[in-house]
């Protein structure tokens, strides 16, 4: 555990890092979502699902986005798993956490890196453990921010249309957590975790085969 992170946890135990702000309590305090933000292919960006080629490798950029409600966020450690179906569809090439400051320059959420990562194997999903962020003053509230960014290269022959390929969660326990401050102590946030998927773009040859198949069925029906 890094020195700044250890110090922050110690200060949080005393409430020293949290200036009091009166805030209403929402039903869900934090949503953690995935958004595809970059590709070398032709897949559409801006959502948690992207289509990729089954013939050529593509480089994909995935953002981990936080939707923070009115109680704010003082500390976050969250992890992600990829290739959860053990198909080795994605190779991880880069991870970073990103600092955030609001337009007024008064609210901050500092990036503190991540603990470890591991590529997927035949019997184990890929892992990105302990993506960390921390606010030492006025916290982000009622805002959406990009907290982390991951870069993958696809294995085109292994990509399947099989649902979620990446999931977020508290997989690095006991350190993974999300904390907010209310009145005189820190509390764990109610969280909605997100997922992301990579699917195959139907290639022109597939459309041709489908058309030929339909044409053949139609011809057979007429002859019958």
Q: What is the pLDDT of residue 181?
A: 82
Domain count, the chain: 1
Examine the pLDDT at 20 and tell me if it is beyond 50.
Answer: no
Residues 54-63: pLDDT tens digits?
999 999 999 9
Examine the pLDDT at 126 and tell me if it is beyond 70.
Answer: yes
CATH number for the domain harbouring residue 82: 2.60.40.680
Q: What is the pLDDT of residue 100?
A: 97
The domain of 150 spans 3-223
Helices assigned H by DSSP within the chain: 3-14, 204-223
pLDDT band at 221 (very low <50, low <70, confident <90, very high): low
Examine the pLDDT at 48 and tell me if it is beyond 60.
Answer: yes
Q: What is the pLDDT of residue 203?
A: 62
Examine the pLDDT at 4 and tell me if it is beyond 90.
Answer: no
Residues 75-112: pLDDT tens digits?
999 999 999 999 999 999 999 999 999 999 999 999 99
In terms of C-beta distances under 8 Å and separation of at least 24 residues, what long-range contacts does 3-12 make, across chains too? Answer: 4/112, 4/134, 5/112, 5/132, 5/134, 8/75, 8/134, 8/136, 9/75, 12/74, 12/75, 12/179, 12/181, 12/186
d(CA 114, CA 80): 11
| Lowest mean pLDDT, pick from 12-16, 33-37, 138-142, 162-166 | 12-16
pLDDT band at 21 (very low <50, low <70, confident <90, very high): very low
Residues 159-197: pLDDT tens digits?
999 899 999 999 998 899 999 887 667 888 889 999 999
Average pLDDT, the chain: 85
Residue with tokens 């994605």: 90
Residues 6+ apart with CB under 8 A from 15: 181, 184, 185, 186
pTM over 0.95: no
């Amino acid at each position: 555990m890094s020195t700044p992170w250890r110090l922050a946890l110690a200060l949080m135990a005393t409430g020293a890092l949290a200036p009091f702000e009166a805030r209403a309590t929402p039903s869900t305090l934090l949503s953690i979502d995935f958004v595809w933000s970059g590709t070398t292919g032709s897949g559409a960006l801006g959502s948690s699902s992207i289509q990729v080629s089954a013939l050529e490798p593509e480089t994909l950029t995935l953002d981990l986005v936080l939707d923070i409600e009115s109680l704010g966020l003082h500390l976050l450690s969250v992890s992600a798993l990829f290739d959860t179906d053990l198909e080795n569809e994605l190779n991880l090439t880069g991870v970073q956490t990103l600092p955030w400051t609001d337009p007024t320059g008064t609210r901050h959420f500092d990036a503190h890196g991540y603990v470890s990562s591991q590529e997927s194997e035949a019997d184990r999903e890929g892992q990105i453990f302990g993506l960390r962020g921390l606010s030492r003053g006025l916290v982000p509230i009622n805002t959406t921010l990009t907290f982390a960014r991951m870069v993958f290269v696809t294995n085109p022959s292994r990509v399947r249309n099989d649902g979620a390929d990446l999931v977020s969660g508290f997989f690095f326990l006991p350190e993974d957590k999300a904390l907010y401050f209310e009145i005189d102590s820190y509390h764990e946030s109610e969280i909605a975790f997100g997922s992301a998927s990579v699917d195959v773009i139907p290639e022109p040859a597939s459309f041709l085969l489908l058309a030929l198949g339909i044409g053949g069925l139609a011809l057979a029906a007429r002859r019958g």
